[in-house]
Amino acid sequence: MRELHTEEFIVNMGPQHPSTHGVCRLVLTMDGEKIVKIEPVIGYLHRAIEKVMENRTYMQCIPMMDRIEYVTSMSCEYVFSLAAERIAEMVIPERAEYLRVIMLELNRIASHLLFYGVTAMDIGALTPFLYGFRERELIVDLFEMTCGQRLTYNYIRIGGVSRDIPNGFEQKCRKALEIISKKLSDYEGLLNENPIWLKRTKGVAILPKELAIAYGVSGPNLRASGIQYDLRRNDPYSIYDRFDFEIPVRYNGDCFDRYLLRLDEIKQSIRIITQALDGLPEGDIKNKKSRQTFKAPAGETYARIENSRGELGVYLISDGGKKPLRVKTRGASFNHVQVLPHFGTDMLIADLVANFATLDIIMPEVDR
């Protein structure tokens, strides 16, 4: 029988698409329904934040760092403050550390709830999106109570935090955590054993360990491939070494594991916040040297923290002046978009959509 002549054709999963998170263009070379090659084209969200930060004082840099990755703004502000504090060798008061941990973990839960909603929506289950956002409202209300903002907080300062928590925060926070842990069992019941969900995510887009390490994949994507590496344990910053929590790991590296791992992480974050609320001491919320005209001594350091996406890092070089000399930010999604062509081919488009969703890529981190 004669071989039918087929041709590969190029399809553009354009910058505006309902299921690319942010503006990312993927140029797909397809052979029928299978994807042969992916070429990510980024840069649609490049705002030159690093260049602008070279002309801003340290305090003015904090809201700019918020926009590097606006879903988990607290982490971005924190990593910059951590870098400056390490250079200046500042001691942070206890209460500020506890408040920072509470805010960071609340932000992690909010980000994972958003991941849950958006992933379910991309794979076709349209209702969990609203459930995830309903719970996220509880957390975002807490943030609004504290610092007035719902998405980009400008809360963590170099040397502490900007404001103390208001009265009623602790009860509201505990209530919110209780509701979220109850609803988590609802979410798991809705999707975890659903045969359609399992067919769409189990065994799909497996990320092998060696490829993950070679391409710098970090965070839940790395832990879902079997490597237990979490900066909160391996290189503890802030007061994470005082809390008792587990680092969940899964070994298959497919979409289903990446999805399950993030739900596990929500449970661990709830544990951490409960312990932090129990042990919250009284005291100052800012170091005495933290003020608008903060000047770091000359020095440079690379501060890295465990964001909800992976390793968020800031390489800060200070020359002793009021403005930083160089701020290089490293977002986890930069590496994840880079590794996508190397394991995301040879599958159908529906699998690519599931893959892209479970990698939890947020574009502002990639383009900055």
Q: Is 57 in the site for another protein (CB under 8 A)?
A: no
In whole angstroms, the minimum distance from the beta carbon of 277 to another protein comes to: 28
b/e per residue 104-115 (b: at least 16 CB within 10 A): bbbbbbbbbbbb
Which of residues 21, 95, 100, 330 is near another protein by CB under 8 A? 330
At a CB cut-off of 8 Å and minimum separation 6, what does 42 contact? 24, 25, 337, 363, 366, 367
Alpha-carbon distances, residue 124 vs 187, 191, 193, 258, 354 (angstroms): 15, 11, 16, 17, 10
Coil/strand/helix, residue 303: strand
Q: Is 10 in the site for another protein (CB under 8 A)?
A: no
Q: Is 69 in the site for another protein (CB under 8 A)?
A: no
**End-to-end CA, the chain:** 54
Query: Distance between CA 87 and CA 137 in Å, rounded?
Result: 37
Nearest CA to 364 out of 38, 71, 103 is that of 71
Closest CB to another protein among residues 145, 325: 325
Question: Do 25 and 13 form a contact (C-beta atoms < 8 A)?
Answer: yes
Q: Which of residues 116-175 bind another protein (CB under 8 A)?
A: 120-127, 130-131, 134
Closest CB to another protein among residues 28, 270: 28
Q: Which of residues 232-251 bind another protein (CB under 8 A)?
A: 234-235
Q: Is 257 in the site for another protein (CB under 8 A)?
A: no
Which of residues 59, 206, 247, 349 is near another protein by CB under 8 A? 349
Q: Which among 48-56, 68-76, 171-179, 275-283 is the span making contact with another protein, rule CB under 8 A?
A: 48-56
Which of residues 2, 7, 16, 89 is near another protein by CB under 8 A? 89
Alpha helices in 192-290 (DSSP H): 195-201, 209-214, 220-223, 231-234, 255-278
Which of residues 19, 57, 154, 345 is near another protein by CB under 8 A? 19
In whole angstroms, the minimum distance from the beta carbon of 120 to another protein comes to: 7
Q: Rounded to 5, what percent of the chain is helix, strand, coil?
A: 50, 15, 40
Closest CB to another protein among residues 108, 304: 304
b/e per residue 151-160 (b: at least 16 CB within 10 A): ebbbbbbbbb
Closest CB to another protein among residues 151, 196: 196
Query: Distance between CA 368 and CA 363 in Å, rounded?
Result: 8
The DSSP secondary structure of 139-197, one letter per residue, reads HHHHHHHHHS-SS----EETTEESSPPPTTHHHHHHHHHHHHHHHHHHHHHHHTT-HHH
Closest CB to another protein among residues 163, 183: 183
Residue 316, phi then psi, degrees to nearest 5: -110, 130
Question: Do 315 and 328 form a contact (C-beta atoms < 8 A)?
Answer: yes
Which of residues 33, 193, 241, 244 is near another protein by CB under 8 A? 33
| Contact string (CB under 8 A) for another protein, positions 264-303, x = contact | ----------------------------------xxxxxx
Q: Which among 178-186, 240-248, 251-259, 321-329 is the span making contact with another protein, rule CB under 8 A?
A: 321-329
In whole angstroms, the minimum distance from the beta carbon of 80 to another protein comes to: 14
Amino acid letter, 27:
V
Interaction site with another protein (CB under 8 A): 11, 13, 18-19, 33, 41-43, 46, 48, 50-51, 86-87, 89, 120-127, 130-131, 134, 190-191, 194, 196-197, 199-200, 213-216, 218, 227, 229, 234-235, 298-304, 311, 313, 315, 317, 319, 325-326, 328, 330, 334-335, 338-339, 348-351, 353, 367
